[in-house]
């Protein structure tokens, strides 16, 4: 009954697990703050989140592929002039770009935070309120003085079994109480990407049964970072399997 010893040197496995650990996955995120440690007031929880790479922004979401219902919270922190800044997060059904995006917008109007929807047809948009081409409900926004943060919340109905979406996020100044063009340099020109709604859920979204269960939050990167995470966890799974069966 002498079982053969594992053929894979443990040191090698150690190296692999280090290289593919979640720490590695979040290495492209801003070091200052992480979405995974954020808690929303009133016990609202989102099983998945990502630290967006530009504009001090974070996206949190809860997604049910079988229904296509996506619940999101977009947070833009560290806003220099909160009373005169608009922020927006948008889905773009055609490309990770500004034109064609279906935006959720928030800013302070007469001292009162307001949130609404605005489809973006051209570069000269002043983000006028109008209906979107995607089904969006319950758009609300909240301001937090502590970290000068505006958060936009909404429900979005996607086509069933949608797994990825193009998204764009943005901030810009106000003039005469109206949003005007955002900066055309730095992060403001790079704040778009493709998001995999499912890879962000893999660690904690499954259960959902117990009301008091703490849903483990995970942050995943967009684009390459998400791919790396996926790649990394894949390796972990495969090697756990190898070790377990050798
Ligand atoms: C979505 O996926 C589920 C499970 O694979 C499948 O049963 C269902 O038919 C799919 N729905 C659509 C609209 O493709």
Q: Report how far ligand 1's centroid is from the alpha carbon of 65 (Å).
A: 9
Q: Whose CA is nearest to atom 8 of ligand 1?
A: 66
* pLDDT given for residue 181 in this prediction: 94
Domain ranges for the chain, please list them: 35-209, 211-246
* pLDDT given for residue 69 in this prediction: 98
* pLDDT given for residue 43 in this prediction: 82
Q: Report how far ligand 1's centroid is from the alpha carbon of 66 (Å).
A: 7
* pLDDT given for residue 245 in this prediction: 43
> Which atom of ligand 1 approaches the CA of 66 most closely?
1
* CATH-assigned architecture of domain 35-209: Sandwich (2.60)
* Rounded-to-integer distance, Cα 103 and Cα 137, Å: 13
* pLDDT given for residue 49 in this prediction: 95
Q: Whose CA is nearest to atom 13 of ligand 1?
A: 160
* pLDDT given for residue 225 in this prediction: 41
> Which atom of ligand 1 approaches the CA of 161 most closely?
1
Q: Report how far ligand 1's centroid is from the alpha carbon of 64 (Å).
A: 12
* pLDDT given for residue 199 in this prediction: 84
Intervals of the chain under pLDDT 50: 1, 6, 8, 10-31, 201-246
For 42-87, how does the pLDDT look when each residue is reduced to its tens digit (9 = 90+)? 889 999 999 999 999 999 999 999 999 999 999 999 999 999 999 9
For residue 161 the two structure tokens come to 């079994």
* pLDDT given for residue 151 in this prediction: 98
* pLDDT given for residue 7 in this prediction: 52
* pLDDT given for residue 213 in this prediction: 25
Q: Report how far ligand 1's centroid is from the alpha carbon of 161 (Å).
A: 6
* Rounded-to-integer distance, Cα 72 and Cα 158, Å: 12
**What pTM was estimated for this model as a whole?**
0.71
* Rounded-to-integer distance, Cα 165 and Cα 199, Å: 12
Pairing of β 48-51 and β 218-219: parallel
């Amino acid at each position: 009954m002498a079982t053969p010893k594992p053929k894979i040197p443990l040191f090698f496995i150690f190296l692999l697990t280090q290289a593919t650990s979640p720490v590695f996955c979040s290495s492209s995120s801003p070091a200052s703050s992480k979405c995974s440690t954020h808690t929303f007031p009133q016990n609202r929880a989102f099983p998945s989140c990502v630290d967006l790479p530009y504009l001090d922004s974070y996206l949190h979401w809860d997604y049910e592929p079988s229904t296509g219902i996506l619940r999101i919270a977009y947070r833009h922190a560290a806003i220099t002039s909160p009373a005169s800044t608009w922020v927006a997060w948008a889905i773009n059904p055609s490309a990770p770009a500004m034109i064609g995006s279906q935006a959720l917008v928030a800013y302070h109007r007469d001292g009162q935070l307001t949130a609404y929807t605005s489809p973006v047809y051209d570069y000269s948009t002043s983000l006028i309120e109008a209906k979107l081409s995607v089904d969006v409900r319950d758009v609300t926004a909240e301001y937090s003085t502590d970290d000068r943060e505006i958060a936009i919340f909404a429900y979005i109905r996607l086509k069933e079994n949608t797994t990825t979406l193009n998204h764009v996020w943005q901030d810009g100044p106000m003039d005469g109480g109206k949003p005007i063009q955002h900066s055309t340099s730095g992060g403001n020109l790079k704040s778009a990407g493709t998001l995999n709604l499912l890879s962000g859920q893999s660690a904690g979204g499954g259960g959902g049964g117990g009301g008091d269960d703490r849903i483990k939050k995970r942050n995943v990167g967009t684009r390459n970072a998400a791919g790396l995470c996926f790649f990394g966890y894949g390796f972990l799974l495969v090697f756990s399997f190898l070790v377990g069966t050798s």
